[in-house]
Structure 1
Amino acid sequence: MTLTRKMTHVTAGLAGAVFLAGALSAQARELSVSTVLSDAFPWGQAAEKWADLVEERSEGELTLRVYPNSQLVSGDQTREFSAMRSGLIDAAVGSTINWSPQVPELNLFSLPFLLPDEAAVDAVTGGAAGEQVFAAIESRGVVPLAWGENGFRQLSNSRGPVDEPGDLDGLKIRVVGSPLFQDTFSALDADPTQMSWTDAQPALTTGAVDGQENPLSVFDVARIDQVGQEYLTLWNYMNDPLIFAVNQSVWQSLSEEHQTLLRETAEEAGAWEIAMTREEESERLAAIQERGVTVTKLTDDQYQRFVDATQSVYEKWVPRIGEGLVEDAREAVESR
């Protein structure tokens, strides 16, 4: 072979290698995943678990980059669903509370005292009501893949034990930016005050706000007892399921293989996070009590008094959520 021909073969080989590397690079795809909390919390750990499973099983062809602390929406967690629907965010592990302004059906989970225990949550998310909720999300340009769990939201305050509705009379309670939360605490004669968590912490410290409501995982990891919250009531007044989801256009652009991979890994990550969150509840509660927090557990009669006191909320919100959906959820809870 002449020198000229050898050089031609070498050049062609290099060009082929560069083309192959470029083709492989073009096949690799990264999707952005938004989440409100970091991996210090189970919520953030759910997103990281999803990303790890996808990277491992796609062998690098598909990766998920997690952006915690709502940084893709400048800290405004209520904008997350809209940003995902419009394509500014590829995917998210999001809260039913935060997405409810855009998907009214998600207010189902915020109805006070609808879901008394974990079995009730599973019956609703795993049944006809859960299917209707997923259909409502998909009709708005987002593909839901799996459930996770932020947990039951419990009540804390700096004034004293709360074991009946009258104990909330006049207490300023920090709530999330949802009208349903405003209505619930107003029905209990409290003074609901909507503010971001960034604003809530100094307000709790100074006593400008008396109390707040959050899952035990948040109370524990964020050390909410250190901002004057000395009294905690376990009342399971609402549960906040998490949802793994992907923008519809992004979903349709993926191969069938990658769609299956995303769904299966989301389901696995969700099941893992739900189990972990529930298993850690007793340990977290013990740690909170060891730090000097007074914990009140409601009796059945005390619980029922709160249920009765918030019935007006149902009259207002069931038509907005959908009577059929709420009825399916109630049937699931009763048959659990």
Structure 2
Amino acid sequence: MTMRVSKLAAAFTAALGLTLATPSLAQETREFSVSTVLSDAFPWGQAATKWAELVNERSEGRLTLKVYPNAQLVSGDQTREFSAMRSGLIDMAVASTINWSPQVPELNLFSLPFLMPDEAAIDAITQGDTGERIFAAIDRKGIMPLAWGENGFRELSNSKQQIDGPEDLKGLKVRVVGSPLFLDTFNTLGANPTQMSWADAQPALTTGAIDGQENPLSVFDVARVDQVGQKHLTLWHYMADPLIFGVNKRVWKSLPAEDQQLLRQAAIDAGAWEIEKSRRELADTLSAIKARGVEVTELTPEQHQAFVDATAEVYEKWAPRIGTELVEQAKAAIAAR
């Protein structure tokens, strides 16, 4: 009898302990690092800030995302972000497809010149089967992708002359990001591309060591690129850079299912908010740039096609590296948009 009572007491104590421990576990607070290249002065940084706000609000402060802008978690070298995140030095990121493309070749799809003529084309890729296939490729590399954001179309500026045809780029010294595909594109157009960080690019533009650069309009505007001699801007829409909300795989697996869903939905909502805001503000951004005396060139359909034709050989080289089937699937999605 005594043994039975002891067993019941032990069982009751264990059950009571479990009951007391459960709410304590549910209320555990956790903080995660979030890497982003640009601060919240730019749409890119605003996407990360919005994600952090939504997660904090929906978890009632239990989950905190601490945003580290300017790629400071990798000492400013944004091309190291993916590797640092995969190794666990970074928990999460709102990242550029360009910066992650060396580790995930499929992301070079977005850097193919003149693949996406408009925003509907971007959506056709990211919001369809092609986007799911790209997310699967990122997943296989050790990062859990959650949602898409947008850094916008990258436009071309320079200090020398108006550019409305491929021949105008001959010999032009252009700063580009650290991607071999970018080098191939500009070399094919006859330019002299130079890879360098944005921190190095600004003084190089000021001194005339380089003639031009390519960036989204939001970056041109907020960074006041017109103040470093960039008085000619061509809206050529040669490539767009979607953003990716991602989480380190080990961090992701450590979270209960309800927190995974909270993080994912907050990322989806933050991405949708940032995409809508960025697109809505484009007209005002362009007006502000023009008001500062920048000469803006908008290509005719014929001028645009000349650039498409001039970069056709880049596709021949890069489609097999990206995945010919993936490239064709993206083209079909764009054609059907």
* Pairwise TM-score range, normalised by the shorter structure: over 0.9
Q: Deviation digits for residues 82-130 of structure 1, max 9, x if unmatched?
A: 1111111000000000000100000000000000000000001011111
SS of structure 1 residue aligned to 2:227: helix
* Aligned mates of 2:213, 2:302 — CA distance in 1: 23
Q: Deviations over 1:237-257 (max 9, x none)?
A: 000000000001100100101
2:234 is paired with a residue of what secondary structure? Answer: strand
User: Residue in 2 aligned with 1:82?
Assistant: 83
| Structure 1 residue runs of 4 or more that deviate by more than 3 Å after TM superposition | 22-26
Please name the residue that 1:34 is paired with.
Answer: 35
Which residue number in structure 2 is paired with residue 151 of structure 1?
A: 152
Q: Once the 2 structures are TM-superposed, how far is the Cα of residue 151 of structure 1 from its aligned partner?
A: 0.1
**What residue in structure 2 maps to residue 113 of structure 1?**
114
> 2:246: which partner in 1?
245
Q: In the alignment, which residue of structure 1 is the partner of 2:124?
A: 123
- Overall identity of the aligned pairs, in %: 71
SS in 1 for 2:81: helix
CA drift at 1:323: 0.5
Amino acid at match of 1:86: S
Number of aligned residues:
318
Q: Secondary structure at the match of 1:27?
A: coil
Please report how far the alpha carbon of residue 23 of structure 1 lies from its aligned counterpart in structure 2 after TM superposition: 4.3
* Partner SS for 2:115: coil
Cα deviation, 1:128-163, whole Å, max 9, x if unaligned, reads 111110000000010000000000000000001000
Provide the rounded CA distance (Å) in 2 between the counterparts of 1:216 and 1:122: 19
Residues 249-288 of structure 1 mapped to structure 2, 5 A cutoff: 249-288=250-289
Deviation at 1:313, TM superposition (A): 0.4
Give the superposition deviation at 1:24: 6.5
Cα distance in 2, alignment partners of residues 163 and 272 from structure 1: 33
Partner of 1:112, secondary structure, is coil
Whether the aligned pair in 1 keeps the contact of 2:32 and 2:65 (CA below 8 Å) is yes
Three-state SS of the structure 2 residue aligned to 1:64 is strand
| Contact residue 27 and residue 62 of structure 2 kept, 8 A | no
Name the aligned partner's letter for residue 121 of structure 2.
Answer: A
- Aligned mates of 1:57, 1:275 — CA distance in 2: 22
1:26 Cα deviation from its structure 2 partner: 7.3
| Residues 1:137 and 2:144 are matched in the alignment | no
Q: CA deviation at 1:25?
A: 9.8
Distance 1:305 1:272 in 2: 35
Gaps of 5+ in 1: 1-15
**1:60 Cα shift?**
1.4
| CA distance in 2: counterparts of 1:128 and 1:66, whole angstroms | 30
- How far does the alpha carbon of each residue in 1:185-240 deviate from its partner, in whole angstroms, 9 at most, with x for none? 00100000111111110110011100000000000000000000000000000000
Please name the residue that 1:95 is paired with.
96
Can you give the 5+ residue segments of structure 2 that lack an aligned partner in the other structure?
Answer: 1-16
Structure-to-structure mapping, 1:149-188, within 5 angstroms: 149-188=150-189
Residue matched to 1:13: none
Q: Return the alpha-carbon distance in structure 1 between the equivalents of residues 127 and 99 of structure 2.
A: 21
Matches of 1:117 and 1:268 in 2, distance apart? 22
Structure 1 residue matching 2:138: 3-state secondary structure: helix
Tell me the equivalent position of 1:221: 222
1:3: which partner in 2? none
The alpha carbon displacement at 1:61 in A equals 1.4
Aligned AA (1:54) = V
Root-mean-square deviation (CA, aligned residues, Å) is 1.4
Mapped partners of 1:266, 1:117: distance in 2: 24
Query: 1:5 matched to which residue of 2?
Result: none
Q: Which residue of 1 aligns with 2:310?
A: 309
Distance 1:101 1:298 in 2: 31
Please say if residues 113 and 185 of structure 2, whose CA atoms lie closer than 8 Å, have aligned partners that are also in contact: yes
Whole-Å Cα distance in 2 between the matches of residues 24 and 86 of structure 1? Answer: 27
Corresponding position of 1:324:
325
Q: Deviation digits for residues 156-182 of structure 1, max 9, x if unmatched?
A: 000010000000000000000100000
